[in-house]
Structure 1
Amino acid sequence: MRQSVRAESGFAYGVIGADVHVFGDGVPVYLLQRWAPGRRPDDAFLCEVPSRMLNARFQVVEFTGRTAELASLRRWRDEGAGLAVRWLHAPGGQGKTRLAEHFAQEAAGDGWLVVTATHGPGTVLPPPGSQDLRAGAAPERGTLLIVDYADRWPLSHLLLLLGNALLDRPGGRGARVLLLARGEDAWPGVRAAVAERRAGTSSQFLPPLSETSPGGAGSVAFDGAEAGAGSVLSDATGAGAPRAEMFAVARDGFAARYGVPSAGIAPPAALTGADFGLTLAVHMAALVAVDARRSGRRAPADLAGLTGYLLDREHLHWARLHGDGGHEVAPSGPAFVTPPDVMNRTVFTAALTGPVAPAAGRAALGGLDLRLPVERVLADHAVCYPPADPGRDTVLEPLYPDRLSEDFLALTLPGHEADYPAQVWAARTVGTLLRAAPGTPAGRSGAAGSPSWTPRAVTFLAAAAQHWPHVGPRHLFPLLDAAPELAVTGGATALSTLAALDDIPPALLEAVAAHFPSYHRPSPDLDAGIAAVSGRLLPHRLARAANVNERAIEHHQHGIRLFHAGRLEEALAMAEAAVTALRAVDRRRIPHPPSAREVEANLAVALKTYGTRLASLGRRAEALAVTEEAVTLLRGLAGHDERFVPALAGALLTLGRDLSRAGRWREAAAAAEECVRLHRALAASDPEQHEPDLSAALVTLGLCHGQTGRPGEAVAAVRDGVAILRRLATAEPSAYAPALANALSNLAAALARTGHQDGVPTAREAADLYRRLATVNPAVYEPELADVLAGLALRLLQAGQPREGLSAAYEGVTILRRLAARQPEAHAHALAEALGALSTMLLVTRRLDEAVAVADECAAVRRRMAEADPEIAPRYAFTLLNATGVRAEAGGARLDEAVALFGEAAEVLARCRDVPPGITGLRHAVGSRLAERLAAEGRADAADRVRRALDDAR
């Protein structure tokens, strides 16, 4: 059992059976709570304001429909083990939350542990006490984690959540994570990150409600008398439509709360229109129809009229409370004093801020000159809109559902023609709230001084602009034109929503893009939105490009944005487009040599990027050829103009890595040596700019030396790289800790080859660094941790600690088996290396049958790799020799298998054009040991054949 508790100023929040991730000020990044059915308020509370009945958490309407979608979720939940993540997306009001709530109820009833995660850094304080998230009495079941508004979470926070111990429990059916979102722009980045773990990924779109159904049992149709003239409720066959069925269920639920009969309450004729594809729209139609029947009013026929009707009822509620001088906020407290006009502005503010801590609420209202004490206004607002969770100390609970809140913002802002009063203060209020004010809590991910509610405010305004054409041109666009950085502060979801607006001016998006981080480096919490904006701007940028060279640059840069967002296939297409365009330019016909060299340089850079994209998708042979072409071009350019030397050095580093992956170590070493020479000269004149690349080149060179029989030079090169990285990581730990961990891992291997005793502590330091990194971002660093554990296992063996080495080897293999099962091309090499280390551990500890089985698994992995890429053949031969050696030690019947494998290894090596010295040495050692074992068991002829084979190979 594990309990994690964090206490700040006597206030504690904890979980049992999971982790708590907190910011430096002690506020949790997210809150985990065991799911429980929503509380059912009394009818009087619900009937005070009709919109309360639309809140999914109150479950006023019985769940109906969505049969196919539920079946898909059940299959996803029940198939397979391990971790699986699904992205469920649909526009606001489509019923995602209701579907997830019903699915959670089913799962809990089936014995699953159901947990919700709420993102609220800096805005929502957790309830005091602990959440018990242990699995309970149904270990054969798994854990279901539901995350609403997942597209609004920064990616780094989602990855923290997905690394929580809650999702990594042994046994049962594993864990399922259901991420709810409005769109799918953020999904590729999330998918790419979680796929690097042991997670299966899938997405599911929740479609609009159809107008008609094929009919069948359970369909509901109204007869003409009930529907009334002009209503269209069924198709030509008389079969009921899903919208009509949902209307009937919702109508009956609302009528029961109002205490009125539902018979004869018909839907509007517009129910078959496009607006009513939303679940929320159908529920609104049913609610207004019931409320209008009770009050004797006429229900509006269209969605805009329904929205206005419900908002009018909000105003009526504020007026009644203010007019009721005896209405007490608390039994012993003062009466409700806030007039309707002030409450209107406060509700508008809450729609922009969302629920916040009391201090933030006071800061938000403090700058609005409401003419009343802020504390009194907040207390009165809480009477109208109490916190969703009474256990949390929050204020400014907004209107629900979100779509109604967005419509309220739009209708309160001037410029529409709907029958609803706009307010002159609305635009001013938006501006005030999005400017920093004294005492305003700052956002963690936004620009300096931006209020913590900026992401919500910008996102909700952009969402409102999707449905109400006046919001963008009259309000949002001028606001962003004056302060375009607000869009970036709003985060990835706000950027994606803005990019999807049909009427947003490209010039405004360009102004926003000017505040993006450089495209050279990823920005995980923004990349999905940046890629969306970049994609929207690409046609405009291409149209204004003066020539093919400029168009290729636009493709190149957009491709990098796509790559950072996890949209790998699209990134590859952009890189290919840039290369194709630049290759088509006849550089001989360009009149000015400098211009020709610029095109050639851009082609070389585009080729280097294209090679990297090919490698990211496992197409390594193609990647190597492309990178070699880039180096050839840059070598020629650098010979004429020293400005191209840094680009040549960078391409040589990529080439060295590509060649090493292909097992062409001597060529890789030559490329790395040239790269180090160039970077040393560059770093001498500008260390800040070039030392990071020099350290990477030194580590790569050391790796190559280690594989080409130069162990002393390998240690020297990697040590130089580690020394640089230690200095850089001291100044910027987050930027250079990953590179330092990688360099330490390579240094440990190099030290081990020379028999140096520092190999084990160096490997331990590397593993410790990767463990810390994997805690923050398991998707990226768990594979690296597994790789370094394999190296640590060998170091421990060489240091005479085989049992501890065996433990490290098993841990690394366990991680990599899961990763390779999901992405074999990405993780096959690392898995083979780890399996080789594990088989050696098992051999040394005399667990011979297990050693044979693991060695065979390793050989099978390498065989598949060699079939796909012949350059892998030397590593495959190495694996066969390892399997031969394990069988030779096992003896007995295993010796015949050993002889066969030794012969197969010889055939593979005969086809290799470059055999590293290490493999040649291993072949001799394994063959000699095999011959010795054969002779010891009286099989002299077989032993002689093995010896002759060794002599022939010299």
Structure 2
Amino acid sequence: MQQSVRVESGVGYGVQGADIHVFGDGVPVYLLANRTPPPVSDARFLRELPSRMLNAHFQIVDFTGRQDELADLREWRDKESRLAVRWLHGPGGQGKTRLADQLAAECTALGWKAVTALHGPGLVWPSPSMQEDLRLTDAAGVLLIVDYADQWPRSHLTWLFSNALLYHMIPTRILLLARSADAWTPLRATLANNQVDVSTTPLRSLPDGPAGRLEMFTAARNAFAARYDLQDVTRLAPPSPLEDQEMGLTLTVHMAALVAVDASAQGCLPPRTPEGLTLYLLDREHLHWARLYGDGTHELTPSRRTYRTPPASMERGVFTAALTGALPRAWAIRVLNSLQLAPGAEQVAADHAHCYPPLTPGPSNEAEHLSALEPLYPDRLAEDFLALTLPGHHADYPARPWACATVQELLTRESDGFAAPWTPRTLSFLAAAASPGRWPHIADHLNRILLDDPALAVAAGSATLISLADIPEIDPQVLQDIQLWFPSGPYPELVPGKAAIVRRTTCHLLAGTSDPAEQAALHTELAVSAGQAGWNEEALAVNEKAVRIRRQLALEQPAQLPYLSRSHSRQAIFLSHLGRLHDALTASEQAVRIQRRLEETHTGEAGDLAYALSEHSNVLAELGRLEEALAALEASVEIRSRHLETRDDRRSYAMALNNLSMVLGKLDRFHQSLEVSVAAFMIRKALYEENPADSLPGLADSANTLGTQMMRLRWFDKAVFLGEAAVHFYRQLVQVNQDRYEPDLAMALTNLGLILAEVERPDEALANAVESVKLNRSLASTDRTAYEPSLANALSNLGLRLSLQERMDEALPATWEAVQIHQRLASDDWDAFGERYAMSLSNLAYQLAKVGERQDALDTSKEAVVHYRKLSETNSAFISELARTLHSHARIRLHLHEEEDAVLQAATEAFTLYDKLAARLPEGFAAYLPVTLTTVADTLSVLGRETEEGEIRQCIENADFAAAANVLAAWR
């Protein structure tokens, strides 16, 4: 296999064996790259700027210490689970990157494929034409490492998690490196599917005892000394006491070792404090800039140019690079031009690239065009440099008068009003420098910046928002201003940051108010934000406080009852997300009870009662109590039908009708379901004709519902038309709002695939099934509770479609995954998921029989029949599925030549059930009568009962199913 990536203008990227996800403008969401060993670095290059030796990219120091953490990662790698995700978090400088790379090196040695993920919306590509072979030929497993994971928007991570690279039948591990665990909580709750093993591990400070730290210091000292050609360095002791709290970072211990070695080579004494280590290394940066500028014969490119940037200009350039990160060269020139640095932007960029060359340059003739402004490394040193350059500290380091103006210039919005693309990094680095225990004066700068433009914090993303909320010195007014700028609507990537800001402002505002109503409102807002972030336990706890306050208020102020009702409905939502469905039912019942009381006293709003009934019906439906859910919906519909004055009233009424039709359909009340569904469709069609802009979602919803109903009634032409219309409408809506409408598109694709299969369009049915699984897998990664059942349904459908095309090696894994998800869901709540589990078992049995797994096919098919028989005893709506499963069981047994009498019994029962169903709804079930009766005849043939077989086949030929029923009854 070969792949060619040709680029005439710009850069190109290609992969083999994996997916590429791109934005609409063609920018990749992320890049995947094979792990490469560290570069061989020239010792003279490293000595020029000692800080280079601290960059994990060069791996100057052999991996030392952290043996317990490495052993834990090995154990995680070697677990039996196929797919496992771990969030490894700790402060900057703790050694996360080096630990991850050591694991990657060991995995590579064991035959694993080690891959790194680079956040694509970053501004610099690793090379102008990047091609990665990610095929897993003979690979023992896959390790994917994602650095700065807390800086990725959650939606980008979920796209990464859906990459095909991660879904091969070999062990796969995803290691996410981050500074904190805040962004992990909502991500953990929404990972792709039930096979994901999730865990989190904090990378703690080094042990207080000097032994482990001394071992780490000694290894680093010896590695650095080798680059200086120093022979005997055993006399070089740590310049700072290793047991000090400030020496708890791996980076700080390495800094102590580096400064000790460099000071010895320079013939001077090292500083004695951790702060002094930082100042020493930054002084060496200044000295290097001065030496280059002072050496007029130093050649950057020997044949063409010399270094001509004064140290003051280089200092400001390095300060700027720390705030922007590496940029495409054209962007870097524009930034430097805005700062008016001598001797000009082009020269400063070129000289800066000599001091700080790109870590992953392209070919030598293209390197200078690839990127500029590579920042100072490691990040923690760059953060300290920013803090020391900005005024307000008391360290022995000169602050610069231009520093504040430079930050302000970089954060100035573009002419179109958008924040500069480096804004997330700029604010993130400043917030990290201001984190507790570091440089509190940076909070003053952040306060001034964000009081002037609080929306910048929102543009910076969740990781920065979380950091800002954790800084004690940030003005609460700043956080309140930021809160006002959060956009409405579903923005998953902002949810964790918003929740952190709301949590901090809520604590501040609660401390300043004694008004119970205001306290309840604050608790409610925090509960909603926490729930959106996936912090369901916190959301529940906070909402309980709101409920308690509202309940007390309602005793004295009846006007508070509507608020109490809404709080109970919210409580039901949070409890449902936590799997506490019966507690959720109690809460929703209380909401309905309050609204009923208000109705009796004529003090309530009809719309509030309809809302409470709707939420109550959702819980009832989840519990499988369909008759009660139906009653609640019918009451809600009745209320809505009396209030049709406005366009919104009609829209709500149509939605209630559509929901009612779906419950009726689940109860096998097809004609009534169809009647209600058509009524909803007609209202929505009229609304669409009046104003398409706000009515397309409703029309798409009705088309989707009506299409599936037409299929069940075997009106296939209408079903295909409506199913295709629904998919078409939802594709339009996804272009407008992907987060909101992608779940609906996934559902519509599944339904259309089922319809197309019925009309013998197998290739189109399969294509829809494949797309549905892909979308549902991505959606399940954003909300497991909400979308995992849909993923399982889509997988089951895909398995069936593949099996019908004899692609059994692909069909069985898909169906088996569906069975596993449904089994887990059903074990937690049989009423809600028992039918889906039985359905997927039936499909699996059919496929196992096709590949010759005789005993497994029989056992699985028997189990499906048992489950459907149990379901049909309590709900007649499942009789049709029992008939289908009995017939499938009969065909499997017949195919495997198993106990023909048992085959005859199952086939006969299936026909009898279908005969009763067809008497009630011929258009829905009459087509199954000749099919099941043929299985009866085939079984009689195998049994050698030729006379009886002839009778049955004559009934089939004459379509006289009443006579066939009489014949079968006579046998019994």
Q: Which residue of 2 aligns with 1:194?
A: 191
Q: Distance in 1 between matches of 2:858 and 2:478?
A: 64
Q: Distance in 1 between matches of 2:811 and 2:641?
A: 37
Is the CA contact (8 Å cut-off) linking 2:479 and 2:501 kept in structure 1?
A: yes
Superposed CA offset, 1:857-885 (max 9, x none)? 5478889x99xxx9988789987776655
Q: Which residue of 1 aligns with 2:497?
A: 529
Alignment of 1:153-552 (within 5 A): 153-169=152-168, 171-173=169-171, 175-196=172-193, 198-212=195-209, 233=210, 241-261=211-231, 262-391=233-362, 393-437=370-414, 448-466=417-435, 467-518=437-488, 521-552=489-520
Superposed CA offset, 1:186-217 (max 9, x none)? 001211221546422111111111132xxxxx
Alignment of 1:651-662 (within 5 A): 651-662=612-623
Superposed CA offset, 1:199-257 (max 9, x none)? 22111111111132xxxxxxxxxxxxxxxxxxxx5xxxxxxx11000000000000110
Q: Distance in 2 between matches of 1:673 and 1:835?
A: 31
- Closer, same or farther: CA 581–382 of 1 in aligned 2, 3 Å: same
- Closer, same or farther: CA 836–120 of 1 in aligned 2, 3 Å: closer
Q: Distance in 1 between matches of 2:578 and 2:408?
A: 46
Is the CA contact (8 Å cut-off) linking 1:862 and 1:875 kept in structure 2?
A: no
Q: Which residue of 1 aligns with 2:87?
A: 87
Residue 271 of structure 1: SS of its match in structure 2?
coil
- Closer, same or farther: CA 182–353 of 1 in aligned 2, 3 Å: same
Equivalent residue letter for 1:102: Q
Equivalent residue letter for 2:58: F
Q: Distance in 2 between matches of 1:407 and 1:685?
A: 60
Q: Which residue of 2 aligns with 1:99?
A: 99
Q: Which residue of 2 aligns with 1:115?
A: 115
1:57 is displaced (CA, Å) by: 0.9
Equivalent residue letter for 1:539: C
Greater Cα shift, 551-560 or 412-421: 551-560
- Closer, same or farther: CA 763–383 of 1 in aligned 2, 3 Å: same
- Superposed CA RMSD: 4.4
Is the CA contact (8 Å cut-off) linking 1:89 and 1:180 kept in structure 2?
A: yes
Greater Cα shift, 745-754 or 471-480: 745-754
Is the CA contact (8 Å cut-off) linking 1:406 and 1:463 kept in structure 2?
A: yes
Q: Distance in 2 between matches of 1:5 and 1:569?
A: 49
Correspondence for 2:662 among 697, 703, 712:
703
Greater Cα shift, 568-577 or 299-308: 568-577
Q: Which residue of 2 aligns with 1:227?
A: none
Q: Distance in 1 between matches of 2:686 and 2:354?
A: 57
- Closer, same or farther: CA 857–455 of 1 in aligned 2, 3 Å: farther
Is the CA contact (8 Å cut-off) linking 2:327 and 2:372 kept in structure 1?
A: yes
Equivalent residue letter for 1:756: W
- Closer, same or farther: CA 506–9 of 1 in aligned 2, 3 Å: same
Residue 305 of structure 2: SS of its match in structure 1?
coil
Greater Cα shift, 655-664 or 89-98: 655-664
Superposed CA offset, 1:780-831 (max 9, x none)? 567535425656999x99xxx9669999986763442354577664895585
1:380 is displaced (CA, Å) by: 0.7
Q: Distance in 2 between matches of 1:401 and 1:668?
A: 59
- Closer, same or farther: CA 180–735 of 1 in aligned 2, 3 Å: farther
Q: Which residue of 2 aligns with 1:670?
A: 631
- Closer, same or farther: CA 408–931 of 1 in aligned 2, 3 Å: closer
Structure 2: tracts of 5 or more residues without a match = 728-747, 750-767, 910-919, 949-964
Q: Distance in 1 between matches of 2:696 and 2:791?
A: 13
Greater Cα shift, 715-724 or 194-203: 715-724
Q: Which residue of 2 aligns with 1:220?
A: none
Correspondence for 1:621 among 554, 579, 582:
582
% identical aligned pairs: 40
Alignment of 1:907-918 (within 5 A): none
Is the CA contact (8 Å cut-off) linking 1:835 and 1:857 kept in structure 2?
A: no
Is the CA contact (8 Å cut-off) linking 2:356 and 2:376 kept in structure 1?
A: yes
Verify: 1:568 aligned to 2:566, yes or no: no
Is the CA contact (8 Å cut-off) linking 1:32 and 1:115 kept in structure 2?
A: yes
Q: Distance in 2 between matches of 1:491 and 1:147?
A: 18
Is the CA contact (8 Å cut-off) linking 2:337 and 2:345 kept in structure 1?
A: yes
Is the CA contact (8 Å cut-off) linking 2:193 and 2:781 kept in structure 1?
A: yes
Verify: 1:554 aligned to 2:522, yes or no: yes
Alignment TM-score, normalising by the size of structure 2: 0.80
- Closer, same or farther: CA 44–791 of 1 in aligned 2, 3 Å: closer
1:157 is displaced (CA, Å) by: 0.8
Superposed CA offset, 1:685-742 (max 9, x none)? 144x973x55543332111121344323423444566688899999999999999887
Superposed CA offset, 1:470-520 (max 9, x none)? 4334311111111111111111010111111122222221111111234xx
- Closer, same or farther: CA 792–289 of 1 in aligned 2, 3 Å: closer
- Closer, same or farther: CA 297–647 of 1 in aligned 2, 3 Å: farther
Q: Distance in 1 between matches of 2:607 and 2:7?
A: 50
Verify: 1:854 aligned to 2:860, yes or no: yes
Q: Distance in 2 between matches of 1:250 and 1:935?
A: 79
Greater Cα shift, 402-411 or 715-724: 715-724
Residue 51 of structure 1: SS of its match in structure 2?
helix
- Closer, same or farther: CA 380–898 of 1 in aligned 2, 3 Å: farther
Residue 177 of structure 2: SS of its match in structure 1?
strand
Alignment of 1:881-900 (within 5 A): 886-887=888-889, 890=893, 893=899
1:620 is displaced (CA, Å) by: 1.8
Alignment of 1:834-845 (within 5 A): 834-835=839-840, 838=843
Greater Cα shift, 329-338 or 83-92: 329-338
Q: Distance in 2 between matches of 1:846 and 1:144?
A: 32
- Closer, same or farther: CA 775–883 of 1 in aligned 2, 3 Å: closer
Alignment of 1:28-177 (within 5 A): 28-121=28-121, 123-139=123-139, 141-169=140-168, 171-173=169-171, 175-177=172-174
Residue 57 of structure 1: SS of its match in structure 2?
coil
Q: Distance in 2 between matches of 1:726 and 1:21?
A: 36
Q: Distance in 1 between matches of 2:292 and 2:690?
A: 59
Q: Distance in 2 between matches of 1:582 and 1:534?
A: 20
Is the CA contact (8 Å cut-off) linking 1:189 and 1:528 kept in structure 2?
A: yes
1:291 is displaced (CA, Å) by: 0.6
Q: Distance in 1 between matches of 2:84 and 2:810?
A: 26
Q: Distance in 2 between matches of 1:260 and 1:91?
A: 32
Q: Distance in 2 between matches of 1:434 and 1:727?
A: 49
Q: Distance in 2 between matches of 1:496 and 1:390?
A: 33
Equivalent residue letter for 2:818: L
Equivalent residue letter for 1:817: V
1:531 is displaced (CA, Å) by: 1.4
Residue 104 of structure 2: SS of its match in structure 1?
helix
Q: Which residue of 2 aligns with 1:223?
A: none
Is the CA contact (8 Å cut-off) linking 1:112 and 1:143 kept in structure 2?
A: yes
Superposed CA offset, 1:607-659 (max 9, x none)? 11111111112222222232122123224435667873333332222222222
Number of residue-to-residue matches in the alignment: 872
1:327 is displaced (CA, Å) by: 1.7
Is the CA contact (8 Å cut-off) linking 1:160 and 1:775 kept in structure 2?
A: no
Q: Distance in 1 between matches of 2:413 and 2:837?
A: 55
Equivalent residue letter for 2:528: I
Q: Distance in 2 between matches of 1:508 and 1:784?
A: 42
